[in-house]
Chains A and B, each alone.
Chain A
Amino acid sequence: MTYKILIVDDDHDIRRGLGLRLRASKFETCFAADAATAVTVAHREEPDVILLDIGLPAGDGFLVLERLKNIPKLSAIPVIVVSAKDPHHVKEKLFAAGADGFFQKPVDNEELLRVIEESLARS
């Protein structure tokens, strides 16, 4: 079966790049460019994994995480944060909010794919 990944990032090039990369690894992709849309798309598409940026218009990554974790249908979806932020500043807050992984941009693609596979195996 094909797994679906939701990519949430306000930067068009980042979304497109990650999309190309993930489709090459046989994933299906869907996208959102802001916090509110992210939750809507998650509802509609019910992805298997979400890649989430922190700095987003109409809210931020933390808000998205909080919403997702409060929606029973979506709360179990693994969320991997992909952000330009320094992990030292945000990692603790993120894990408290329920994130499953953290990557700082630019991302090591192999490592990202490995963590996605791991999350899928777990859920």
Chain B
Amino acid sequence: MNQSQGSGALRCLVVEDNPGDARLLELALDGQHPGRFELHVTDRIEAALQELTFRRFDVVLLDLSLPDSQGIDTVRRIHEGAPQLPIVVTTGLDDEMLGMQAVKAGAQDYLVKGQVEHIPLHQTLRHAIARKQSAEALRESEERYQLAMNGARDGLWDWDVSRDRIYYSPRWAAILGLAEEEISSDPEEWLGRIHPDDVVRVRSDLDEHMEGVRDQFESEHRLRRADGSYAWMLVRGVAVRGVGGRVTRMAGSITDVTDRRLAEDELLSHVSHELRTPLAAIHQFATILLDEITGPVNEEQRECLDTIERNANQLKAMIGDLMEITRITTGKLAIDPVPFGIAEEVANVVDAASGNATAAGVTLRADVADGLPPVFGDRARVRQVITNLVDNAIKFTPAEGRIAITVAAATDPRFVEVSVSDSGCGIGPDQLQSVFERLHQANGGPETSRKGLGLGLFICRELVTRQGGRISVESKVSEGSTFRFTLPVFSLVDLLRPVVTQTEGTRSDVALLRIRLEPASPEKPLRFLDIALEETRRVVQRSVRPAEDILLPRLGPGDDGRTLCLFASTGACGAEIIRARLEERLASSQDLTRAGARARVEAVPLVVSGSEDDEVLDRLARDIASIVTGDPSPQKESDE
């Protein structure tokens, strides 16, 4: 490709068996640009290939019909012989088509014989050389990229967001035990492999990066391998933004971190286990003294013992946090969403925290908007989040400060927002981004000498995102902070919609299957009800057909916690068959038998009526709610 040095003329190999044509080319080039080209003519392809091995040329002018080679094949042979040499093909007047085919086969350009005198040949050749050079450069850089990709321990992915396609590197596939040809460029190849418990979290992390809330996308989640097992992956990426900040492309890496995760989890689990025994002893003996089992204690002694117990409880909470982290990272964090009133939980938290608030000299009040819809989440987990935020607020607010909990409808009507504001020391902008990170520790205010483990807000974030909400913070140094989180509003209608509303119209063949746990024998109580329920849920979940059935959450206080409800489309086989099949499956579960439980399944037919989807769904939702919660309000009421 190097241009011949010295003379500065371009060395041009002319392969042309017609001496007239060869002469014409020579004349044209020489006439137009005397001294700029050094021509070398040969009339056979074999001779040309030989020339190419002995001498260096800058470009080949190639006739496609030679005595020893015809057509496109001629281009291919020269291209093979000297892959880096630019080729300009000469064709007959009536054969532009062939010229274009030659370009496809690797030539840079073509000339039509008989016209060579009228065009700037010099330019054509120069362009051919330049074009070849840039093509070579591109190929080289692609090769380098390919090498980097193949060699790296990490897999790479490159998401063309506007076309919704992802390029996955061979290493990406290999990490998951897949062969390169087994993967498509469908984003589902990745997203569809995410462990069900991690989906919400990954989605929200992705959204937060795409919306610009976070500088980088970084997420540890489990992906399903080819053999069906799950592996922990660290997936990192950065978005490329186009006009208006819209994300057009996103690319990043994937690393298998399963071993590291397992080692971490094992360590955490071991440490918290070992800490619990001495803690149990401290707690036991402090309370033995406090309860005056060993004799009366005076006021001062009681205060001392109270202090011991309070600190033991703090330690217990920290160990609890450590375990919670293990659960989060091993995916064992159980979220059991039910519809519930958020106001009640806020009141509970205020009740429980008021002692601490008073002791710290801060006022704590709650302002809950009227008429909020029920939210859909895990009651205990939501209480845990609010408690954590309030405890934090108390910790960072000096005496005479204020803490306010506000609950109101979020801007998006599908959510309710809870916020906890304090008049504390605030968080600097440099720290604001990282408060929700694992092991983040606040630079405590003047009142706080204890930092804690730096796990509380990380746990809050996990709990909120796992329930389909978002958590965020705003803060001004020395003015205070406001933490907000959202929870989805419960809507049975939205839950039922995908099954009932089908493309071909409203579905009417639906039934409610009520699965009730009973003691296997009447004298024995149900031991380990929670385990029996979990097993029942597992069995039922396995028979759920996507877009056909929905395992309903517990719907409220009327629900006794021993019943699971499946909303099912009955199809051609009818409700009774589905009922019997489900009951049979549950009867063969050994775990249920061991727990001393038996599951009875009852099919409750549902009437589908109404002209519009929304009307149908509303009625269905009302009927189901009344059946499930045992609310006596009759079904007819919906015919008003």
Contacts and interface: CB of A to CB of B under 8 A. Distances in A.
B316 A106 contact: yes
Interface string A77-103: 000000011101101100110001000
Dominant SS among interface residues on chain B: helix
B162 interface: no
A76 interface: no
A20 B528 CA distance: 29
A11 interface: yes
Interface string A96-123: 1000100011110100000000000010
28 contacts: A17-B284, A17-B285, A17-B288, A18-B284, A20-B293, A20-B294, A21-B293, A24-B291, A24-B293, A84-B274, A86-B323, A88-B327, A89-B269, A91-B531, A92-B531, A92-B591, A95-B531, A96-B591, A96-B594, A105-B276, A105-B279, A105-B280, A106-B276, A106-B279, A106-B280, A106-B284, A106-B316, A109-B287
Nearest to B316: A106
Contacts of A18: 284
B33 to A, nearest CB: 83
B273 interface: yes
B283 interface: yes
A27 B288 CA distance: 15
A71 interface: no
A21 B276 contact: no
B267 interface: no
A114 B284 CA distance: 17
Interface in B246-301: 269, 272-274, 276-281, 283-285, 287-288, 291, 293-294
A106 B277 CA distance: 7
- B278, B312, B332 — which one has the most chain A CB atoms within 10 A of its CB? B278
B428 interface: no
Interface of B: 269, 272-274, 276-281, 283-285, 287-288, 291, 293-294, 312, 316, 323, 326-327, 332, 334, 525, 527-528, 531, 591, 594-595
For the residues of A in contact with B, the DSSP-based class is helix
Given A11-B277, A95-B531, 17 more contacts: A13-B278, A13-B285, A14-B277, A14-B284, A17-B281, A20-B288, A20-B294, A24-B288, A84-B277, A86-B272, A86-B326, A91-B528, A95-B527, A95-B594, A95-B595, A100-B527, A106-B283
A50 B287 CA distance: 22
A86 B332 CA distance: 11
Interface in A1-30: 11, 13-14, 17-18, 20-21, 24
A104 B280 CA distance: 9
B203 to A, nearest CB: 25
Contacts of A122: 525
Contacts of B285: 13, 17
A84 B288 contact: no
